[in-house]
Amino acid sequence: MVLDSIVLLALLALIPSAPASPPSNADLAAQVRAAETAFARTMADRDHAAFMTHLADETVFFGREGAIRGKAAVAESWKGFFEGKDAPFSWAS
């Protein structure tokens, strides 16, 4: 009886649990929208430190002079956009 219980528990442990359902396209779109809004808010708030939190170490931004690679380089190149009272541009329409 004890052996049967152990075998049953071992077999149950091998049964994979049901995977969680993947997020819907609407959920994914909402996540992207929220991330973009938070990113844009850093410019509106004139908060360069918050802007940097949105940059991955492997960030690549493209501008008139070509690619800017890496978090530190992008943060430094965008620092001037955060100076002054008014943002030089906005994502809001």
Mean pLDDT across the chain, nearest whole number? 88
CA trace torsion 74, 76, 78, 79 (10° rounding): 150
As a whole number of angstroms, the distance between CA 89 and CA 81 comes to: 9
pLDDT for 36-76, tens place per residue?
Answer: 999 999 999 999 999 999 999 999 999 898 999 999 999 99
Residue predicted with more confidence, 50 or 17 = 50
Q: Provide the phi-psi class of 51: left if phi over 0, else alpha when psi is between -120 and 50, else beta.
A: alpha
| 30 within some domain | no
The verdict on residue 60 lying in a domain is yes
What is the rounded distance in angstroms from the CA atom of residue 84 to the CA atom of residue 82?
7
Structural domain of 52: 46-84
Residue 54 is assigned to a structural domain of this protein:
yes
DSSP 20: P
Q: How confident is the model at residue 92 (pLDDT cuts 50, 70, 90)?
A: confident
Is 36 within the bounds of a domain?
no
Question: For residue 8, what pLDDT is reported?
Answer: 66
| Number of domain units in the chain | 1
